[in-house]
Amino acid sequence: MAETVKLLGTKGSPYSHRAEVALRLKEVNFEFLHEDLAHKSDMLLRYNPIHKKIPVLVHEEKSIVESLIVVEYVHEAFNGYAILPSDPYERAMARFWARYIDEKVIPAFWMSCWTDGEMQKGFIGQAKEALTILESQLKGKKFFGGDSIGFVDLAAGMVAFWFGILQEVAGISLLNEEDYPVLCRWADDYCSVEAVKESLLDRKLLVAHFASKKEKIFATKAPVYD
Amino acid sequence: MGETLKLFGWKVSPYSHRAEVALRLKGLKYEFIHEDLANKSDMLIRYNPILKKIPVLLHGDTPIVESQVIVEYIDEVFDGHPILPKDPYERAEARFWARFIDEKVRPQVWMSCWTDGETQKSFIAQAKESLAILQGRLEGKKFFGGDSIGLIDIMACSLALWFGVMQEVVGLNLLNEDDYPELCRWGEEYRNAEAVKECLPERELIVGFFAPRKDRIFAKKAPVYD
């Protein structure tokens, strides 16, 4: 029987990762369709005509796009694991922190890696502040979601796995154990969760990928796929 | 139940309006606390220490921030007029368009107003495309939400009033009836809706904000409050 749930994504994308982990947490049977972002498939263009990006979740022929929207959909459409909290205020907080990660943490960190001189100093300052604020949210918990991973942990997946890789390739040390002991401990715990482990690419492969594209990314400040 | 509701806001801000219209759609009693963004109150900074922005909804002693997060919180906690649909796919779809408005339409229209030359031409072209895509979503219905106002309508509120005023101040004719008849028709329906009418700012208030600050906003490409 053909799977009614398909995920169009790539293993190298932290956004695709969010969607994949959500499906794994819910133990949904899904087919992972790997997209070559240098040569986007007709299927991708059909299911996400406006943005033409991954991840795209296809459920019974309907498409859901934008990683955090996909995660909320998976939480609402499938039974089982609670990705978002049941309390409305806790849910609002989770949504706030996911937004904070997307709007403050990730852009500042990304630009810290791919700029230099005074510009880089500026971005590093912003990234440090954002990471400090994010770390403070852990407040002695194992995960942002409490005892088990939740919406904010998935949103922060890029921090847990990709940040270390990016900074290594860029030659900076921003997210390190000395400055962010709690966040680094969280990152290890996050990457050890079964549903997360199953969806992560081998670290060496990702390092090699970013290293090979380093100059192009530095020039464009954007991911490079070809 | 019966905890008090306070909204820290600013009538000139469409973000503040989003939160206010959600409260009114649910028929809720609340106190509107007007913030002077050039001199932020201690209370605002206490309740939104990270971003220091309005709107902030205070439900009892609990602050909720970020306009869309507030709207979703209000919808989930209070009965009455449904702001988001019940079906998970339709909810994902509404959130998609909310994001499209905040990440594409709004920034592109804003920059179309506050740039010139080739840069402006480029933003205008992007804005035209996004406005056309958004207009397509109306599909001849009264509101994006169908017969009644929903999340997308609330998130698109700038298009019903603020953009028109801003483009007039800068001498741009981007959102007009000839090019966007459906969107303009929707704008009028939105402005005339009961819950909206009660909390829509006067045109003159918005003009009074933008006109005297025109040069400074042009220089900064961002609002200037003093």
Q: With beta carbons less than 8 A apart as the criterion, state whether B81 and B29 touch.
A: no
pTM of the model: 0.96
Candidates A4, A28, A50, partner chain B, best to mutate (most B CBs within 10 A)? A50
Amino acid at A50: I
pLDDT in tens, B90-113: 999 999 999 999 999 999 999 999
For residue B223, what are the contacts with CB-CB under 8 A and spacing of at least 6?
B213, B217
User: Which residues of chain B make contact with A92, given a CB cutoff of 8 A?
Assistant: 64, 69-70, 72-73
pLDDT value at position A124? 97
Taking an 8 Å cut-off on Cβ atoms, the answer to whether B66 and A99 are in contact is yes
pLDDT in tens, A15-47: 999 999 999 999 999 999 999 999 999 999 999
CA B162 – CA B160 distance, rounded (Å): 7
Q: A150 pLDDT exceeds 50? A: yes
Candidates A66, A68, A100, A101, partner chain B, best to mutate (most B CBs within 10 A)? A66
User: Which residues of chain B make contact with A50, given a CB cutoff of 8 A?
Assistant: 100, 133
Residue A1: pLDDT band (50, 70, 90) is very low
Taking an 8 Å cut-off on Cβ atoms, the answer to whether A73 and B88 are in contact is yes
User: How far does the CA of residue A171 sit from the closest CA of chain B (Å)?
Assistant: 29
User: Could you tell me the two tokens for A156?
Assistant: 């922060």
pLDDT in tens, B152-211: 999 999 999 999 999 999 999 999 999 999 999 999 999 999 999 999 999 999 999 999
Q: What is the mean pLDDT of residues A161-167?
A: 97
Match 């996004």 to its residue by tokens: B130
CA B116 – CA B122 distance, rounded (Å): 10
Taking an 8 Å cut-off on Cβ atoms, the answer to whether B50 and A66 are in contact is no
pLDDT in tens, B2-44: 689 999 999 999 999 999 999 999 999 999 999 999 999 999 9
Neighbours of A16 (CB within 10 A): 24
pLDDT value at position A226? 73
pLDDT in tens, B49-85: 999 999 999 999 999 999 999 999 999 999 999 999 9
Strand partners of residue B65: B56
Nearest-by-CA chain B residue for A71: B92
Candidates B50, B95, B105, B106, partner chain A, best to mutate (most A CBs within 10 A)? B50
* 3-state per-residue secondary structure call for A120-169: HHHHHHHHHHHHHHHHHCCCCCCECCECCCCHHHHHCHHHHHHHHHHHHH
Taking an 8 Å cut-off on Cβ atoms, the answer to whether B89 and A77 are in contact is yes
| DSSP for residue A205 | H
Which of A66, A88, A91 minimises the CB distance to B99? A66
Torsions phi, psi for B71 (to 5 deg)? -60, -45
